[in-house]
Structure 1
Amino acid sequence: MDVRLLVFCKAPLPGRVKTRLAAGIGDAAALAAYRAMLATVLCAADASGLPTILYYTPAGELETLRRLCGPARTCRAQSAGDLGARMAAAFIQTLAEADGAVLLGSDLPLVTGPLLARAARELAGNDAVLGPATDGGYYALGLSRTGYCPEIFADMPWSTAKVASLTRARLTAAGKSLALLPELPDCDTPDDLARLAAPPWRARLDNTPFGRFLARLPDRTV
């Protein structure tokens, strides 16, 4: 089964990434955190063995993104519209080329190659796969061609604790079979950062770009 990995990301611009995190630790540290998170996600993507496409924003910052991610990455600008419209457009484009797609964000320090490979395998027997986040959202969404469901992208209260449960309910109502991945935290706020810097998560971040970022942070930051 041909499954593509879609990483939704932003060009690493000061003051434009992780703004809620920046409110607590400053723009420079938040930018460093974002760069480390994206690098960690890309290491996991490479380890998964899945063909990977970076869907980025803003559209005019491709070279900024390439300086961080490397010139060999396949990159596509995100479409216009809200998050749901942009995600839907990415799935439609990819599912015209492949059997399935797994979309994830770029602020997931704990995602791993085996977990992403598992998400792809789940699409062989299911219409969809969902990785719920601890804040009520989700960190990964996979759809096969038969699993594409426009209802999960329209009129969704993004950035709320209802997103994962509503997505599951809408997939079920549409008759789609669904597999679940383990729940993981993302990193949007200073509290999220503090949790990742403490047990049990900190040990799992060793030898990752984000773990090295945490090691450089002054203790008072977290």
Structure 2
Amino acid sequence: MTAPAGDGITTSTGQRITTAAGQRITASAGDGTTAPARDGTTAPARDGTTAPAGDGITTPAGGGVTAPADGDGTGRETVFGGATTLLVIAKEPVPGRVKTRLTPPYTPVQAATLAEAALADTLAAVAATPAARRVLVLAGRPGRWLPDGFEVIPQRGGGLDERLANAFAETDGPAVLVGMDTPQVTPAELDRAARSLDDGDAVFGPAADGGFWLLGLRRPDPRLLLGVPMSRADTGARQRARLRGLRVTTLDTLTDVDTAADAVRVAERAPGTRFAATLAAISRTRHLAAAPTRGAAR
């Protein structure tokens, strides 16, 4: 899905936004709210230190430290610290356009509300993870659920494989990409994924349905994604096969929220998330609506 053409969007302070026409702007202060970190804290910068002059180490924007080529004796550039770009690919949570497999039993509005909560949890986890850049690759327009500190760019391409490849193309170094379907993801898991690229080539997070919830690449290459069939039971296996020959770190398997059963399972495993609280509120509303009215004929 490709985001519609835009004419400039105002979100929260300091965010850089690219419209569908390709124009990058700096947004002024808006009404975007920041979802809190999962544990109420913000993770510190992964390194944040500057090496003294003369030791051949430079500190790029974002706090990461890059050693010169062959600094580890392998002929590869070695990346340390928060030098990784974190990408979130997502859809604007509009009723009838997101989480359609949740309807029924949920209404389109309830499904979109759950999608917004899942996205907010994901963005909060990314915001609490050390990174050089945090980029939301969005189909649609940002809303109040967008925290500070994110660049927003439109999705480009037809199929999901093209959109993923184009998202990685927005980076010029190590990058980790997640979707909006795993609200249970934690900053610790994302940090582990990013750190694995310090001395590895790729990181892969398999999903319980046969897909994948995370993909990270030390040197993003469109050929590693283009042509991989998406939204199938063998998507994860096919994507993992593209990484053959690379040094790959495999993360724990997570459940994507695609069905009502998935939603319940994820909420049970991550009860402190906004997603779990939203599902509980919706469930209470549905229970009250289904309860017989006092005094009604039996």
- Per the normalisation by structure 1, the TM-score is 0.85
* 1:125 equivalenced with 2:199 (yes/no): yes
Match of 1:89 among 146, 150, 166: 166
1:147-200 C-alpha deviation (Å, 9 max, x unpaired) = x3434322222111111111111211xx21111011110101122123224xxx
Match of 2:235 among 163, 166, 173: 163
Distance in 2 separating the partners of 1:150 and 1:71 = 29
Q: CA deviation at 1:81?
A: 1.6
SS across alignment from 1:31: helix
Distance in 2 separating the partners of 1:139 and 1:19 = 19
Give structure 1 stretches of 5+ with no counterpart: none
Match of 2:252 among 160, 172, 182: 182
Q: CA deviation at 1:52?
A: 1.1
Q: CA deviation at 1:74?
A: 1.1
Residue in 1 that maps onto 2:175:
101
Moved over 4 A (4+): 219-222
Give structure 2 stretches of 5+ with no counterpart: 1-78, 288-298
Q: CA deviation at 1:218?
A: 2.0
Give percent identity, aligned residues only.
39
- 1:73 to 1:157, Cα distance in 2 relative to 1, 3 A: same
Match of 1:75 among 152, 169, 184: 152
Distance in 2 separating the partners of 1:70 and 1:43 = 7
- 1:47–1:114 contact (8 Å) kept in structure 2: no
Distance in 2 separating the partners of 1:70 and 1:47 = 11
- Per the normalisation by structure 2, the TM-score is 0.65
| Rg (Cα) greater in structure | 2
Count residues in correspondence.
205
The more displaced of 211-220 and 184-193 is 211-220
Q: CA deviation at 1:68?
A: 2.3
- 2:117–2:275 contact (8 Å) kept in structure 1: yes
Match of 1:144 among 215, 218, 225: 218
Amino acid at match of 2:144: R
- 1:23 to 1:151, Cα distance in 2 relative to 1, 3 A: farther
* 1:134 equivalenced with 2:187 (yes/no): no
Distance in 2 separating the partners of 1:192 and 1:52 = 27
Distance in 1 separating the partners of 2:143 and 2:204 = 29
The structure whose residues are more often helix, as a share, is 1
The more displaced of 21-30 and 149-158 is 149-158
